Structure 1
Amino acid sequence: MRRRISSAAPFALAGGALAVGVGGLYLAALLVAGGEIDAGTTVRGVDIGGLSRAEAIQKLEKHLSAAGPQALAVKIGDRSGSVDPRQAGLTFDTRRTVERAARAGGDPFTTIGGLFRSGGAVEPVVRIDEGRTRAALGKLAPTLDQKVRDGAVTFDQGLVREVAPHSGFTLDVNAAVGTLRTSFLHGKSGSVTALPARESKPKVTAAETQRAVREFARPAMSAPVTLTFGGERVTIGQAVLGEYLKLRPDRTGRLTPKLDDKGLLAAPEVAGPLAKITGPAEDARLRLDGERVVVDTDAKPGLEVTDKALSKVVLPLLTRSGAAARTGEVATQQTQPKVTRENAAQLGLKEKMSSFTVNFEAAEYRKKNIGRAVELINGSLIRPNETWSLNRTVGERTKANGFVDGIVILNDQFTKASGGGVSTVATTVYNAAFFAGVKLVEHGAHSFYIERYPEGREATVVWGSLDLRFKNDSGKAIYLQAKATDTSVTVTFLGTKKYDEVTAITGPRANVEQPGEKPGAKKACEPQTPLEGFDVTVDRVFHQDGEEVKREPYRTHYNPRDRVTCDGE
């Protein structure tokens, strides 16, 4: 019987041979590779070829951090800085890096493939803690952010200075997170990474500053200007002009000249010569003939130069060339006095309404401060229904305004401060207003009683918080005359009496409180004698045709004046 040979036998044999061949290669590949990672595999120069995953992770954790950047150099605009990757939450993920480097699996075909290839360089995986990255960038931002700087042109001692414009940059923290990660992964030694930022363009460009210099600044500082005021010639040099001259941008960024005309008018180089021909109007000088007001000296008109008139002439001259072209005449204008021989009677300045005097012990600071306050108050004209203010009239009691340090009351204790003594003037004005019968709008007494003043009829002032104000409700104008000596101050109200007489009735002291004793200040101590505190009421009584027509009570509280002794007293 003939045997049938299956046609599949050769194929089975071939398949068996093939199986034997593949198995041999697989075994050979396992013996050669010896691990899970292809030979020749490196991560940032660290060789992990032939290692198991655990071995590779251990080796990378030991060496990879040293292979990474120690600091990332960054910049925004022209400012540079650095970021510590670890503080910014940037590290290499060794486990995921090894997973990327390892063969995909242990199947024969992948393993056998390892016989015919080497691993090569593998890019590490970056782990990022975005919260820490944003925090590090937020801390870095203030050192790298730049404010936009407009171009500018300034003047210094008659010289032109051009300031170059500069764009502003603000770090975009959200966008910078990815940039920083890329820099950590791919940045090379010595490279600087530009972080994303929002740019602000300057409003005034370099081209505009160059134009302003060419068309205005250089011509303005090329020579002095000469001004004439009513025949008086004044030459103003470039240094003085530049001090009061500015170039300011308009809404379009164009630089336009601005002259501080008030400042230039007050500059010694201008104000000095002008003082020879200008001055305020002088009111008619009034005096009393008995109880009646008469004109003692006629009024005089004044002459002034306004800042607007000065600016109108100076600015056009600055762009001209040549001495003749840089000369101009500034208009002057006459000012009229408020009180003249002709209008004194029409204003109602016909009689003495009241007068009051306060005496004080002589002291150099009182002489200066009281004298200065009197100078500023004297001649005040208060028209009907106007309110007069001591603080507004006298101004702040500063050295620049002519005042010196003197004794004042602060926190129920004598101390030194500028303007000490002005309250003596305030008390004098208050009493003159009291007996003139005008409406008392604002006043305040000292915190404790001072013996030289009438009880309940005195006033103090504090710049910015306490004023002395009265309203002229007499129906006619009121003119204040103020005079001072080294030991007294007198204030007189001239006008038309609304009442025949105004008197004061002072009640008894109530709620008397005894003083204590406290130490003086460590520096500049002022001794203080004790005096009781009390309450007192003063009635202002108005009389007309021999009858009382109105009464106003004024209640005052005085704190005790504690005894204060100073070292060595």
Structure 2
Amino acid sequence: MTHALPPQTSPTGSSTPFWQLLLIWLLAPALVLTAGLARFEWRYQDRIYPGIQAMGVDLSGLTREEAIAALQVAVSSYDLPPLALRYGDRVWPLKSEELGVTVDIRAMANEAFAYGRDGDFLHNLKAQWQAFWQGRQQSPTLEARPGDIALAIAQRTAYLNRPVSEPRLSLNDLQVVVSPSRPGKWVDIQATKAEVLRRVRSGEGGVVDVVVHEVEPAEADVSVGRQAMEQALDRSIVLADARGEFQFALDPAALSSLLDWVPDSDAPGGVRPEIREEPLRALVESWAKQIERPPLNARFDFDPQTGTLIELSPSVDGYALDIDATLAAIQDAITNGRSQVTLPVQIIRPAVPSDDPASLGIKELVAEGSTKFKGSSAARVKNIQVAASKFVGVVIPPGGIFSFNEYVGDVTAANGFEDSLIISGNSTAVGVGGGVCQVSTTVFRAAWFGGFPLVERWNHGYVVSWYGAPGLDATIYTPNVDFKFRNTTEHHLLIKPIVDTQKGILTFQFYGTKPNWTVETTKPKYSNRVPPPPPLYVEDPDLPKGKVVQFDWPVEGLDAEVSRRVIAADGTVLIDETLKSHYLPWQAKYRFGPGVTPPANAEVVWAKDQ
């Protein structure tokens, strides 16, 4: 018997189980979502996620460089929220430029790009979702220069800083005044700057209160200092020298004007007196001028017959005040409360004292020089006598320098000199003191032939007949042109002038102790002789008709040389020199009246050209 089998369903048939359909239904959306998410992330892998804005600029889908470019445009119109400083009722606005505020655009672009990428997967998805649906407004990334902020604060608040004032002692009309203490204040720039910088970075703006600290003064007792000041001013300081010749005083008023009282924790009462050196030095210098007296050398005459010295005028000690030592002594008196100060007056002994004439070594004739003035006018003779008298009794110490101008003084009528012919510029003219160079020339010759070293000597501008052979003259013109020589002996040297008006001879004798040298001299030698220029005629309408008056005489120009050797007893040559003098040619000069015709070769100066 054959049985028929029931029908079977093929495995490949179209009939699908339910669970498979359910699985497909559940997985399909997930696959679609995953694919969409992958596509989204792939699209924005190097771009800013959608919904992110900064400074009013939509940065969605932009690369970082594109975001930087977009923000660069926006930043030019960006305004920082208002920011100001405040202290009490004063408010100071702050400008972005003075704070050095800048917008860090690159940091903003980097921050926008990092949003939705800087966490784990779910955190990033959430951030991307919120940005997409809700949007994200990114704050500007701001920075400022701390130094500029500190400067802006300091410039506005400098007046608030005030040092602590301790109780202060001062003087008012010799009365001690106590100024009360006062707290100090200082602006805490660091703390204030930190808050300003925080406000800038956060973009908050607003008003920042300036941080100010107060410092209370330390307690101080000024009573001891007050007492010290009152005691210092309740006395005078008397200053006198040991010999009792000079005395000065600083009374309380003077002391008050010369002192400052300065804080000193080591001093009694916390204050000490400090001298105002400049006014005190000026005061002491005025005392020094009153005290100052140069020493005065003794003057002597020598009697060659008896070999004795005769005192003509005694020596006088000089005085000088030691200014620095006086200042120190006054400071010491003020500090230690003394009322008596010994003035440090220095006694200056003269180089030529009169108390021991025998020690001067003046006992014999050492050198001598002479010139002739016979035929001089009465005024010229008078000037020679006056000038020579200035040297009576002069003594030069060993090593000392003789200066003609030092002793002759000012050549003026007030000093007894009269008008006579002198060399003035390029002409012989009438002037005070004509004949004084006769005296300087005579002293020069004594020094020259005596073997003394010359320190300064000038010849005349042209040859002067009064002085004999050219080359042995010495002109002076006070105070600039001088004649000087040095006493190189070991003893004092007495200068003795002798004026013989009968014979017309002027002699200068040097007395001392003969040095151990001999002097060899040569006669003058002449060269480069130049004849006088043509005569000069000067028209003078005041002269009588046909009158001609000569006022200068012709002299040839030349160069002169004269030599000497000074030889010590042992043969050592002490001086070997040649004295050179250059003399200009000198023309004859005339004044002429109306009706005179000058010579053809003459140089003429007409009245209209004068």
TM range (shorter): 0.3 to 0.5
* Greater Rg by CA: 2
TM-score for the superposition, normalised by structure 1: 0.47
